[in-house]
Amino acid sequence: MIERPVILIPIILAAILGTTVFEFWVTYLNVKLLKSDLPDTFGATYTPAHYKRSQDYLKLKMLLDLVKKSAFIFVLLTFWFYGGFELLDMSIGRLGYGPIMSGLLFIGALVFLCGAISMPFELYNTFGIEARFGFNRTDMKTFMSDRFKTISLAIVIGTPLLSFFLALYHHGGDKSWFSCWIIASVFLVLVQFVAPVYILPLFNRYEALGEGVLHRAILNYTRKIDFPLKQILVMDGSRRSTKSNAFFIGFGSKKCVVLFDTLIATLSVEEVVAILAHEIGHHKQNHILMSVILKMVIMAAVLYLFSQFLGFVPLYTAFGVAEPSVHTGLIFFNILISPLIMIGKMAEQWLSRRNEFQADRFAILTLHKPTPLTTALKKLTVQNMENLNPHPAYVALYYSHPTILERIAAIHQQ
C-alpha cells in the first residue's frame, strides 16, 4: 500500500471542501434574498403572480445546482480514498500503450465519468425544471443529438490538443509550459472565430433576415456608426428554449449579426436595435480582446505552476498513485489549485461586468436615448425569469453581467 503524505492530504481536502463550502454559503445567501416583494422598477413589467413564479424557478435551479455539486464531491472523495485513481491508471497501463495514449484514455475515462454523473441533472433541468416553467422546447431526440454532437466535437478537437500538451510536458518537462501556452493561446483565439461560424450551425439553423422594418433599422444604425455588417441572420433558438440572445460571428468586414428568433418575437424594432447597439459596443471597445488577454494571462500562470508541480511526488502519492505521470499530475494539480481557479474565474466575471456597463453606455450614446435599451432589458429579464436581487457575493462568483437593477440605474445616470 502506498504511504500517503500526512501533511498534503489536509491541504487538498481544504482546497476541495473550501471551494465547495464557499459556493454553498454564497448560494444560501442568495436564496435568503429571494422575496415576494416586487421592486418598484418592475412594477409595470412583472405581474405579482409571474414574479412569485420566477422566485420558485430560481430556488429550484439553485437547489439542483447544490445537489449536483454535492454528488460530484461525494464521487470525487469516494473515488480518491478508495484508490480509484490508482486502479484506473494501472488498468490503462496494463494495456501497453505509450504515455500519450495512456494519458488520453485516463483523462477520457474521467471525463466520461463526469458526464455520466451530470446526465441525470441535465435531464431533470431540461425536462423537469425548464419544462415546468415554460422554457423548454427540446424533445428527447434533439437533446440526445446535441449531446452526441458535443461529445464528438470534444473528441475531434480535444484529442489532438490534449495530445500536444501531454507530449510537450512528457518530453520537455518543466521547460515546456511556454510552448503549451502558445498552443493554448492560438486555440483560444481561433475558437472566437471558428466556433460561431462552423460549430454553432451544427446545432441550429440560420436564415437571412428578410427585408422589412427591422432589417432597415439595423442597417441604418450600423451605417450611422460606421460598423461593417455583411449579413443579418436569424437563429432558430425557439427549437430548444424560449430564452433570447444575440451575438456576432465573423470579423472585419465579414461580420454578421445573429438574432434569436425569440428575441425578434419578444422585442420591438427599437428594442432589438438597442440590444444590437450594446453588442456592437463590445466590439467597438475591444472587450472581446480584453477577455481573451485575461484568459491567456490566467492560462500562462496555471501552465507555469503545473510545470513546477509536475515532478512533485507527494502530490501523486497523496492521491494514491505510485507512478508520477503527466496525465495524472494534470488532474491532481487542477484539484489542488481549485481555489486559485475560482479566483481567476471571479476576475474574469468582474471584467465582464465592467465591460457590460461600458457596452450599455455605448448603446445609449449612439442611440441618443436610453428608453429602448431599458425596456428591452426589462422584457428579457421577465422572459428569462432572472433574479432581480442577487446577493453581491453570488454576483461576484457567478455573474458575467451586472444585475438588472444596477444596469438600469447606470443607464439613467448617463
Catalytic residues: 279, 360
Q: Is 239 helix (H, G, I), strand (E, B) or coil?
A: helix
Q: Which of 215, 173, 163, 129 is nearest to 309 (CA)?
A: 173
Nearest one of 374, 366, 367, 355 to 413, comparing CA atoms: 374
**Cell 433574479 -> residue:** 387
Task: Decide if 104 contacts 51 (C-beta within 8 A).
Answer: no
CA 91/CA 68 separation, integer angstroms: 28
Amino acid at 221: Y
Three cell numbers written together for 25? 454559503
DSSP state of 136: B
Phi, psi of 256 (to 5 degrees): -125, 145
- The answer to whether the CB of 350 falls within 8 A of the CB of 270 is no
Q: Which residues pair with 258 in a beta bridge?
A: 233, 247
Q: Rounded to an integer, what distance in angstroms lies between the CA atom of residue 80 and that of residue 73?
A: 10
* CB-CB contact of 349 with 295 (8 Å): no
Residue 252 to residues 212, 284, 291: CA-CA distances in angstroms?
A: 25, 12, 18
Alpha helices, DSSP H, located in 195-259? 213-224
**Which residues does 254 contact at the CB level (< 8 Å), separation at least 6?**
230
What whole-number distance in Å separates Cα of residue 313 and Cα of residue 242? 51
H-run or E-run covering 18: helix 8-33
